[in-house]
């Protein structure tokens, strides 16, 4: 979280120029809040680091697919990296031109291929020979040709969490480089398929740049080899994965993260020199991670023996990362604590009936009481998008702030909308109403 976009003014946390407490009054808690100024800044910084390169930045929608967020980037010229028909539709609806969309993902269905072909996207990143065969059939049936980049598994350890590493030989992603080479040099052509490039993505939240260099070098070597073998390749998709700083109180971590982008860009500039290829980048977290907050309210403070629990109204269904990956999010009070406030270790937990519904264990925080507002920072990426309605908790709303303006960019899910998705089977409806208290309870839903 760049502190500029989330400053304390007169002891009150703001998003750009809007006080978080005022938004909480307006929309209720929990809610997500993003700074459009921070989104624009992160995009512009990344684009500036890559300037001079023939690059398309395809924002990885999976990190945050709110229409307003996608449109913020689309308006700055971004393309999109999508992994499902749903994301493809979101990108198109937000105004991303089809020719700037790459369709990635290890399990595209025939229907999704049709959607991509009909839209006229830039390329499909194909992850297996079986997928290539299906795409060939589908494209022929549609009387068209599919532009393809083969996603290569470079067998590089990205040095990130096991759950989010994707470039090792034991991962489900991509095609083994030797297999890809043998196939492409052996077959060369497949009806309905136009090979245009190669793609890689070795993992997410990478804090070390060295694995990128190894990966890109391997990819470029293969690119040259295939071109020499006569394949008309012209594009390299270098994926995403650059890590951000989740610890804003540690200045050195923030600086390290900024340096990382420069180091990454330097590696790319160095390797791209003299390389005859268009480049595609698929950043997700880097563009949105530090541009968002999850705002929550303290429900209760409870002491169980030695341990103090702060029970908040957000839960693992709203922000899954701590439960799923043990991920660390900074927790800040919306009203700044007094300078001399004593910090005390507490467990910050949600109301869901699971022990893993824990945001932080033994986190030193200033004194907190019922109704205090807190934020989880760096909640712009892989946060709202991974939410569920577990425990029948409606999805939280999302707010976008720009300067002194704010807008609800996704309304809180209504209870009726959530429950109304359910249908009773015929045999429950067939019984007389008097025998079926449930039907009466659900009314005509």
CA distance 347 to 324: 17
CA distance 437 to 391: 23
Q: If you search the block for the tokens 């030989």, which residue do you land on?
A: 169
Among 1, 18, 24, 60, binds ligand LLP (CB under 6 A): 60
Largest CA distance in the chain: 79
Is 240 a binder of ligand LLP (CB under 6 A)? yes
Q: Cβ atoms within 10 A of the Cβ of 437, count?
A: 9
CA distance 189 to 132: 11
Catalytic hit among 10, 52, 252, 353: 353
As measured in angstroms, the least distance from the Cβ of 11 to ligand LLP is 32
Cβ distance to ligand LLP smaller for residue 267 or 298: 267
Buried b (16+ CB within 10 A) or exposed e, 51-81: eebebbbbbbbbbbbbbbbbbbbbeeebbbb
Cβ distance to ligand LLP smaller for residue 104 or 184: 104
Q: Residue 54: phi, psi to the nearest 5?
A: -75, 75
As measured in angstroms, the least distance from the Cβ of 440 to ligand LLP is 42
Residues in the chain, total: 445
- Calculate the CA 377 to chain-centre distance: 15
As measured in angstroms, the least distance from the Cβ of 147 to ligand LLP is 17
Is 100 a binder of ligand LLP (CB under 6 A)? no
CA distance 103 to 87: 9
Is 79 a binder of ligand LLP (CB under 6 A)? no
Going by C-alpha positions, the residue among 147, 242, 213 that lies closest to residue 221 is 213
Site for ligand LLP in 385-444 (CB under 6 A): none
Among 108, 201, 260, 393, binds ligand LLP (CB under 6 A): 201
Site for ligand LLP in 119-178 (CB under 6 A): 164
- Calculate the CA 157 to chain-centre distance: 21
Site for ligand LLP in 302-361 (CB under 6 A): 321
Residue 199, token pair as written in the block: 């793609």
33 is catalytic: no
As measured in angstroms, the least distance from the Cβ of 311 to ligand LLP is 24
As measured in angstroms, the least distance from the Cβ of 18 to ligand LLP is 26
Cβ distance to ligand LLP smaller for residue 27 or 257: 257
Going by C-alpha positions, the residue among 27, 20, 94 that lies closest to residue 398 is 27
Pick the piece of the chain touching ligand LLP (CB under 6 A) from 68-76, 240-248, 292-300, 413-421.
240-248
Cβ distance to ligand LLP smaller for residue 192 or 239: 239
Among 30, 167, 284, 380, binds ligand LLP (CB under 6 A): 284
**Beta bridge partners of residue 303, listed in sequence order:** 308
Angle at 389 between CA 385 and CA 390, to 5 degrees: 115
CA distance 131 to 113: 10
**Beta bridge partners of residue 376, listed in sequence order:** 294, 331
Helices (H), 107-176: 110-119, 129-141
Pick the piece of the chain touching ligand LLP (CB under 6 A) from 86-94, 250-258, 281-289, 423-431.
281-289
As measured in angstroms, the least distance from the Cβ of 325 to ligand LLP is 6
Among 382, 387, 396, 398, binds ligand LLP (CB under 6 A): 382
Is 241 a binder of ligand LLP (CB under 6 A)? yes
As measured in angstroms, the least distance from the Cβ of 128 to ligand LLP is 14
Q: Which residues are catalytic?
A: 353
Contact residues toward ligand LLP (CB under 6 A) are 60, 62-63, 81, 104, 164, 201, 204-205, 239-242, 282-286, 321, 382
């Amino acid at each position: 979280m760049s502190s500029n976009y989330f400053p304390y003014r007169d002891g009150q946390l703001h998003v750009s120029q809007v006080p978080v407490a005022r938004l909480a009054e307006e929309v209720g808690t929990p809610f997500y809040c993003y700074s459009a100024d921070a989104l624009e800044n992160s995009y512009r910084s990344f684009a500036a680091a890559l300037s001079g390169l023939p690059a398309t930045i395809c924002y990885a929608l999976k990190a945050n697919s709110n229409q307003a967020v996608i449109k913020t980037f689309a308006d700055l010229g971004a393309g999109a990296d999508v992994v499902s028909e749903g994301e493809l539709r979101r990108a198109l609806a937000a105004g991303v031109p089809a020719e700037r969309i790459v369709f990635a993902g290890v399990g595209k269905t025939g229907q999704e291929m049709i959607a991509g072909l009909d839209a006229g996207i830039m390329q499909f990143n194909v992850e297996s020979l079986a997928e290539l065969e299906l795409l060939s059939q589908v494209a022929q049936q549609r009387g068209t040709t599919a532009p393809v980049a083969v996603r290569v598994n470079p067998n590089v350890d990205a040095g990130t969490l096991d759950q989010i590493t994707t470039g090792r030989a034991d991962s489900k992603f991509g095609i083994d480089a030797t297999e890809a080479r043998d196939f492409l040099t052996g077959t060369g052509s497949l009806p309905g398929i136009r090979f245009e490039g190669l793609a890689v993505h070795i993992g997410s939240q990478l804090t070390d740049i060295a694995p990128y260099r190894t990966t890109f070098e391997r990819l470029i070597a293969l690119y040259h080899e295939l071109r020499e073998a006569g394949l008309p390749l012209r594009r390299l998709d270098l994926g995403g994965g650059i890590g951000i700083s989740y610890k804003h109180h540690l200045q050195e971590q923030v600086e390290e993260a900024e340096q990382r982008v420069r180091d990454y860009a330097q590696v790319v500039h160095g390797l791209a020199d003299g390389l005859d290829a268009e480049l595609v980048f698929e950043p997700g977290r880097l563009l949105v991670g530090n541009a968002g907050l999850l705002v929550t309210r303290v429900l209760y403070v409870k002491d169980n023996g030695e341990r103090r629990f702060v029970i908040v109204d957000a839960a693992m269904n709203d922000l899954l990362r701590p439960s799923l990956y043990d991920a660390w999010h900074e927790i800040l009070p919306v009203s700044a604590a007094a300078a001399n406030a004593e910090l005390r270790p507490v467990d910050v937990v949600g109301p869901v009936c699971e022990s893993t519904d824990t945001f932080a264990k033994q986190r030193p925080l200033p004194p907190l009481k019922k109704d205090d507002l807190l934020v989880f920072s760096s909640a712009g990426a892989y946060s709202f998008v991974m939410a569920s309605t577990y425990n029948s908790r409606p999805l939280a709303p999302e707010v976008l702030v720009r300067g002194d303006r704010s807008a609800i960019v996704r309304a809180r899910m209504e209870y009726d909308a959530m429950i109304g998705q359910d249908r009773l089977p015929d045999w429950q409806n067939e019984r007389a109403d008097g025998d079926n208290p449930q039907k009466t309870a659900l009314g005509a839903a």
